[in-house]
Amino acid sequence: MVRMWMVDPTKMCRNHLIGEHQECHTIVKCVRQGKINKLIGHFVRGQINPEKVKQRHDDLVEEMKNRGYKHNSPMNYENIIDLGESTINVDYNERILDDRCKHCMKKFK
């Protein structure tokens, strides 16, 4: 599932932090390759917001570097088409992570 959690990166466990970073790359790649149909459902359900993917990627990378992780995948934003803005429910996503992930749960407490 493609998803931008949009929760505070400092509250995310390693797996979710790196996973969302990868999702940002997947979103940009799909848009650049014209594979919008793979993203539309996630966009409509409020799971991704292409308008915010650049800033989100940068925020995730900053937290990765703060934790001492290496980042070797710069983002190429050339030729990105605008899909518009989608609303992501961050409070809902925090509850999901809190329920699903014992490692994120520790960070939310």
Q: Report residues of the chain scoring pLDDT below 70.
A: 79-84, 105-109
Q: What is the residue extent of each domain of the chain?
A: 9-108
Q: Are 15 and 69 spatial neighbours (Cβ–Cβ below 8 Å)?
A: no
- Compute the distance between CA of residue 17 and CA of residue 15 in angstroms, rounded to an integer: 6
pLDDT, one tens digit per residue, over 73-93 is 888 777 666 666 778 999 999
pLDDT value at residue 7: 94
pLDDT value at residue 6: 95
Average pLDDT, the chain: 87
Cβ-based burial of 53 (10 A; exposed 0-12, middle 13-18, buried ≥19):
buried
pLDDT value at residue 36: 81
pTM of the model: 0.88
pLDDT value at residue 80: 67
